[in-house]
Each structure stands twice: as C-alpha cells, then as structure tokens.
C-alpha cells in the first residue's frame, strides 16, 4: 500500500511538473517522451527500498522443462507455470498430456529459493473414482529469467492426503516468458 501511494505521488509530481512547463512554453515530442520515461521508470519499482537495484522476482509465467528420473521411462516434457502475487501457483496441462492443469501455492524459502505444491484432479476407471496428483517442487532463481530445481509427484486421495509417491525426483529448468511486441503493422 505504501509503495502504491509513493508511486502515485511521484507520478503526480511529474505530471504537475510537465503541466507547469507546457503552460510556459511548447514542449517537443522528445521532451514529452523524457518525462514519460521518467514517470514510468519512477513508478515501475526498478529500485529496492535501500536505493539499490531490485532483486529478480519469481512472479510471472515460465516455460518449464521437466526431465523425469530414468525409472519413469518418460521423455522430457514442458509445462507452463505461473507464480502470482499472494502465493498462487498455476500450471498448465503437461505438453504430453500426462497430468491435467494444476493449482496450488508457492512460498519464498530463502534469498533465491522457492517451494511450490500443486494439486490436480484425476479420475479412475470407475465413475466416482476421484484422486489427486500432488506435485511438490523446489525452485532456485539462477538468473533474472532462469529457474532450476527438483520436483516429485504423488497420487493421493481426493483431498490430497494418503499419498503414494512416485520414485525419484525430476529435474526442472525454466525460462521466463517475456513480453514481445507483435511484428504486424
């Protein structure tokens, strides 16, 4: 909340400054762009509270490659994962359709270390046979746009308890999905 108030105050300061200057003289397009850049830079959270550069954050969407243990006999596959503010974790269906979309939670455990737990419903061969997949993962932010980690999977009852863990751990590697402008006119 405090950060939002500061961002609004800085934005208003620059807008009033711009307004005062434009009433005294015409501003060129380049001057406006300079002010706009200053406003965006000042309000985008580019600096930490101590004035240094802000540390990379895990929040965002990532393209994750999962390499299962050899005993699984499964080739590597991809999953889109998202870390949202407030600790919400989302994962798409796996690229080979092995597990449906997952929802869960994440938490920061150290400077660049994070843990996530996600659940997905599955159905057995008989009507009413409901179970959950539980995926538990450790992630380390190794660069602004790169994650590495380990994960384990289990099959649990419908409430996510009484789990039977699959043997071994998968290795995880992810790259952040970044904004790219379209190339069309």
30: domain range?
A: 2-43
Q: What is the mean pLDDT of residues 67-74?
A: 92
* Cα–Cα dist 37/162, whole Å: 54
| Dihedrals phi, psi of 26, to nearest 5 degrees | -70, 135
Which band of pLDDT confidence, cut at 50, 70 and 90, is reported for residue 27? very low
Q: Could you tell me if residue 53 is inside a domain?
A: no
Distances 185 to 20, 29, 179, 181, 182 between C-alpha atoms, Å: 36, 22, 17, 11, 8
- Rounded to two decimals, what is the model's pTM? 0.69
Residues 125-181 have pLDDT tens digits of 988 899 999 999 999 999 999 999 999 999 999 999 999 999 999 999 999 999 999
pLDDT of residue 55: 55
For range 32-37, the mean pLDDT: 34
Is residue 133 in some structural domain?
Answer: yes
Mean pLDDT of 24-52: 36
Give yes or no: residues 8 and 72 share one domain: no
């Amino acid at each position: 909340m405090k950060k939002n108030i500061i961002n609004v105050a800085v934005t208003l300061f620059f807008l009033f400054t711009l307004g005062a200057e434009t009433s005294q003289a015409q501003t060129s397009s380049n001057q406006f762009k300079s002010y706009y850049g200053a406003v965006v830079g000042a309000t985008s959270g580019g600096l930490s509270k101590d004035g240094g550069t802000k540390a990379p954050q895990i929040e965002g969407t990532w393209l994750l490659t999962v390499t299962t243990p050899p005993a699984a006999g499964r080739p590597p596959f991809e999953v889109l994962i998202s870390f949202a503010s407030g600790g919400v974790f989302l994962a798409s269906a796996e690229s080979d359709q092995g597990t449906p979309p997952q929802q869960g939670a994440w938490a920061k455990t150290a400077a660049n270390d994070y843990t996530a737990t996600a659940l997905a419903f599955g159905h057995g061969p008989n009507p009413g046979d409901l179970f959950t997949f539980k995926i538990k993962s450790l992630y380390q932010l190794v660069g602004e746009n790169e994650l590495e980690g380990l994960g384990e999977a289990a099959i649990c009852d419908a409430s996510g308890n009484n789990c039977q863990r699959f043997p071994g751990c998968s290795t995880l590697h992810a790259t952040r999905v970044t904004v790219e402008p379209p190339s069309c006119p």
